[in-house]
């Protein structure tokens, strides 16, 4: 890949599911990838498998830790061309009133505050350069609702609003885009749908088309609610 075609991409929640599939496809295409996750074992596995990439243990809910990580990435690779805020949790399937306060808070902390931390930490370097795309992973449940996933729905609706508002604040030449991945067979989908999740694509298969789609996003897409298909 020519240097001018090689993009610097940051992916949160990169150790499993959609985040891992995105990271692995980007690396296969020759792009520079920095990813984070909470599992030391999974991060170590990715480091061993992809020594030319950067993978670190970072909890996106811890603002100072995300700041420190962003500084490291910008110093080593440069300002991201593409920031993908993917890290997310889903609540156990249950009516809202049966979801314990601690579980509700954790979903909000990761899915909303974690995204805000990623933006707050990486966006200044992107603004300084005047270029870059921020993709915040949304969901079909950020545009519709279902029973027993109220906390998750609330956070993904919040991501839609947060991202669209941010899009109005960015200078020309940049973009913030809420992107739904569609239906993908992940552990998260299994927790809601059980065996029915087997009817949908595995993350690696999904990434074959989704990653090229993400790479071609730009200012023309600013503020648009999109789906990878």
**Cβ(89)–Cβ(107) under 8 Å?**
yes
State the pTM of this model.
Answer: 0.94
Over residues 153-187, the pLDDT tens digits come to 999 999 999 999 999 999 999 999 999 998 775 56
Q: Which of 13, 152, 162, 214 is catalytic?
A: 152
- 56-77 pLDDT, tens per residue? 999 999 999 999 999 999 999 9
> Is there a contact between 110 and 88 (Cβ–Cβ < 8 Å)?
yes
- Top CATH class of 3-227 equals alpha beta
3-state SS class at 55 = strand
71-80 burial by CB neighbour count: b if 16+ within 10 A, else e?
A: eebbeebebb
User: Of all residues in the chain, what percent carry a pLDDT higher than 90?
Assistant: 87
Active site residue 50: no
């Amino acid at each position: 890949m020519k240097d001018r075609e090689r993009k610097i991409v940051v992916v949160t929640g990169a150790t499993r599911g959609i985040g891992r599939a995105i990271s692995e496809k980007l690396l296969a295409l020759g792009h520079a990838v920095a990813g984070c996750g909470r599992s030391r074992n999974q991060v170590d596995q990715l480091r061993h498998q992809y020594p030319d990439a950067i993978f670190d243990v970072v909890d996106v809910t811890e603002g100072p830790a995300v700041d420190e990580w962003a500084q490291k990435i910008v110093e080593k690779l440069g300002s991201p061309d593409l920031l993908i805020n993917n890290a997310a949790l889903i609540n156990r399937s249950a009516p809202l009133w049966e979801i314990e306060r601690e579980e509700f808070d954790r979903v909000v902390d990761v899915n909303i505050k974690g995204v805000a931390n990623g933006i707050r930490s990486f966006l200044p370097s992107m603004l300084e350069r005047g270029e870059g795309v921020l993709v915040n992973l949304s969901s079909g449940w950020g545009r519709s609702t279902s029973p027993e996933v109220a906390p998750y729905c609330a956070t993904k609706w919040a991501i839609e609003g947060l991202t669209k508002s941010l899009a109005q604040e960015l200078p020309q030449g940049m973009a913030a885009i809420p992107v739904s991945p569609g239906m993908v067979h992940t552990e998260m989908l299994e927790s809601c749908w059980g065996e029915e999740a087997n009817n949908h694509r595995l993350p690696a298969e999904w990434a074959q088309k989704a990653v090229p789609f993400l790479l071609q996003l730009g200012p023309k897409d600013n503020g648009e609610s999109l789906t990878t298909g």
